Structure 1
Amino acid sequence: MIDRAIHHIIKTAEIPSFSSYEERLHPYICSVFKEIPEAQEQEVKGNNLIFRIGNRQEQPTIALAAHLDKINHYGKDYPDTLPVEVTDEYIEGAMDDCAGLGMMLAIAEKIDLDDAPNLLFFLSEMEESKGLKEHPELLRNNGEGYKHGMGARRIAKQCIAENWVPQQIITLDTTPLFEGESGIALYSKHWELNDLTPSEALIEATEKFIAKFIAANPKVKLDNNTNDYLHYGEVFNQETTDPVVSVALEPSIYPYHQRGERVFIDDIERTLEMLKTYFSNSRS
């Protein structure tokens, strides 16, 4: 699975899918899911994508999420193909959030449906706020009509409207917490950073989820930070009755929000192993 993840990370990192131009990634993403017989695309507004694999009533549904947009570090004269370098140790390029996208696509290709839950795949627009705040002139329409987190919110509201609500959402992104060292972080208490007052049921369900991931990798770092997992956690838990666990699982990235971002291949592989173990145990 790691070889396929690296392949997808490279391919998605080369595409200049900057904030508000996420549709540039759609052909590649759709070509991958088109080769998965069980995958079905679900309609959603904007530059977002939703895919489903499995719809068995007796199985839980888990969503994997990643964002499509990159920060434009090149200005208006960006290259048609963004640079990517791969060594035995790391991948360098636009890793935020191509690391998450690559892992998601590898899982979609390799998941064993006989040993896994139903899966939803959320691919969102406008996760990044940096470009919108600092260089709105690089966005479509000079950033007018765009808002940080709008993609995740659109996806969540569409799923609620269509009754595709997952029990758990795992956002795959990258974390700056390790400052150049290897590591994997798990963000889980989104209510500390959004406008949600958590129910006791949500807190209990989240704690059970964390315990399973720590069992899969005791070295995972529990922390918190801002990304789409906040928006998924807020919208789903404000507008549905049953608790929806929302966490983010993130390998280390360094430097962060700059050209030449690096992720460690070992971290990508360990993250994939954690997810594989969790899916295998998700019905227990």
Structure 2
Amino acid sequence: MKLVRYGKKGDEKPGMIDADGVLRDLSGHVKDIDGAHLGDAVLHALSKVKPDHLPEVKGNPRLGACVGNIGKFLCIGLNYSDHAAETGAAIPEHPILFFKANSAIVGPNDDVIMPRGSTHTDWEVELGVVIGKQCKYVSEANALDYVAGYCVVNDVSERHFQTQLTGQWTKGKSCDTFGPTGPWLVTRDEVDDVQNLAMSLDVNGKRMQTGNTNTMIFTVAQIIEHLSGLMTLYPGDVITTGTPPGVGMGIKPEPVYLKKGDVMELTIEGLGTQRQTVGEDA
């Protein structure tokens, strides 16, 4: 299934994308697409709903983040071998973890707003993993059983804030609008091999990132095993899993960063496409 949330920010309704790409309203079957409704039992019940029996949503409504009331927004850094190479960084021994503030979360096509003083805002297409049931100390072998589904995330980053303001990467990752999530949550049964998904990102129509989840240093299952050994993961937690090469800071001979009016378009195979226009804070 492809599950969505649509409508005005803060007042989104649950929906489903049918086989023809038509948005259908799910309000009669579930209150929201959030942690309380991501368990196997609820998803199984929703899978039995016939899409053509659901009301069609007319027009072109805004899509919100595909998961509501996200609990933890956990991010893994330097998790693609080819991206680590372009930045000159050593391959990490363990997954690098940082957090993105929930106030960064926006819909997949909402504007990305650069904060005051930003000169180094960058793009990062990433695979998002949505936890469907509580897990602690899970093994790599059964880790994917705890996943509700997958989505596209743009881990927008202000590199100066991230590396020069002293402290953790979170400073450059948590600015408002720096976490576009969606367009939809694709349930795990529809993703045959999460470690073989093509991904790309364009800026103003120019291809900047091309990659595949098969170059991850730590697989999705290994990441869940590692994180669940550190903390309990709850339904509705989102994990972003790193980005392939082609980020602005890695461009030679001079890095390239976003500016007002730029348009980012990013896609992961089978998970949909995001499109954001860049603005700046007044």
Q: What's the TM-score once normalised by structure 1's chain length?
A: 0.30
Question: Per residue, is there more strand in 1 or in 2?
Answer: 2
Specify which structure has the higher proportion of helix: 1
Give the TM-score taking structure 2 as reference length: 0.31
